[in-house]
Amino acid sequence: MQIEDGRVATFHYTLTDDDGTVIDSSSGGQPMAYLHGAQNIVPGLERQLAGLESGAKLIVDVTPEEGYGAHNGVDPQAVPRSEFPRDADLKVGMGFRAQGSDGNEMVLFISDIRGSRVFVDTNHPLAGKTLHFDVEIMEVRESSEGERAHGHPHGPGGHHH
């Protein structure tokens, strides 16, 4: 069975940057599951996985434009820790939704935490980076009605709710 729109694919991956530094990996854990065509994963990876079958192994290179976007050149801004909810477990790299000055919702990322100052970035931590995914397709299956309605897979490697 080939990966195509409406099917769930499960894969192991190791993500490295141009220097070969490992950014993320499913190795030793559960493979990642996604619903093809539902934008669960970055566009460049999804596009290049189309048509593959279980057992396929390949390296997928993804440009920033098809990954987490080009870097917009704007430096992170310091925000007082007190502006975040007291019980929020803030971590470097985490994203959150906020309302911009124009009233539109935007996603911001925490790039650094120094004492009572939290540095907030409009760029995804991987913005501007070419991504190299070392991928092994583990399983391809039809999705359930519920998965298609939710736009993501359920069960192992997917959502639990």
- Residue 31: CB atoms within 10 Å: 17
Q: Select the residue whose beta carbon is closest to Zn ion and give its number.
A: 150
Placement of tokens 């048509």 in the chain: 51
First CA to last CA distance, the chain: 27
Instruction: Report the nearest approach of Zn ion to the CB of residue 151 (Å).
Output: 8
The contact mask relative to Zn ion for 113-152 (x = CB under 5 A, - = no) is -------------------------------------x--
Instruction: Report the nearest approach of Zn ion to the CB of residue 7 (Å).
Output: 16
- Residue 85: CB atoms within 10 Å: 7
Q: Which of 81, 132, 148, 159 binds Zn ion (CB under 5 A)?
A: 159
Placement of tokens 């998965």 in the chain: 147
Site for Zn ion, rule CB under 5 A:
150, 159
